Amino acid sequence: MSPTTDGVRVEPETGRARPGMWRWLPAAATALVVLGALGAGTWWLTHPERFVEAGDGTEFDQGASDVAVGIHHLSGQDGEVVIRDVTATVTRNDAGATFEAKRCTLDPGLGFGAIGTAGVEDLSTMCTDLVDAAGATLSLDEADRQQLLLLIHAPGSGRVEINGVHVTYRDGVRWGAEDTGPDVLLP
């Protein structure tokens, strides 16, 4: 046990006061700052927001079976992203529908700037380039006229309900995932 002088512990060998817990305060404050910076950096790396939703929702007429829906509209952002995966958020699929995500480069001769909805058979006249979205590079610059599309193939009759899509992508050094796109209803 160390002797005390007026309530302060004194080291018997040196006669100096022991610093106690206060000597750990700068180290603890530094650790908190470093952890905060790591957390903020991790958040920045994993939460880019690059997709602008394409409308509020789409409802097709009875009998629609092979349709394409624009997942996002051309937002005029700079840069490009590499699409890793696009998954439809299906809440009901009575028709046994299948889904494909494509990247379309719009024909510059079209009289419109983005595809909202279209028949799959019409895409050959609207897109100069139509490729699988997974692994494709998507330019976000309006001048490049590229857009993500969700193709819905419903071979049978029945209701199909989709609440947008989940897109995972790489944006430079950043990796992101976003829920985007319109709600879709096939009666």
Give yes or no for a contact between 66 and 153, defined as CB atoms under 8 angstroms apart.
yes
Write down the pTM of the prediction. 0.74
Residue of 147 and 11 predicted with greater confidence:
147
Confidence (pLDDT) at 84: 96
Confidence (pLDDT) at 122: 92
- Mean pLDDT across 33-59: 75
Picking from 158, 179, 144, 152, the residue whose alpha carbon sits closest to that of residue 47 is 179
Assign 135 a pLDDT band (cuts: 50, 70, 90): very high
Confidence (pLDDT) at 111: 81
pLDDT digits (tens, 9 = 90+) for 73-112: 666 678 899 999 999 999 999 989 999 999 999 998 888 8
Token pair for 57:
């929702």
Assign 161 a pLDDT band (cuts: 50, 70, 90): very high
| Residue boundaries of the structural domains of the chain | 4-46, 57-186
76 by Cβ neighbours in 10 Å (0-12 / 13-18 / 19+) ranks as exposed
Q: What is the DSSP string of 107-132?
A: -TTSSSSS-SEEEGGGHHHHEEEEEE
Confidence (pLDDT) at 130: 96
Confidence (pLDDT) at 98: 94
- pLDDT of 32 higher than 70: yes
- Mean pLDDT across 132-147: 90
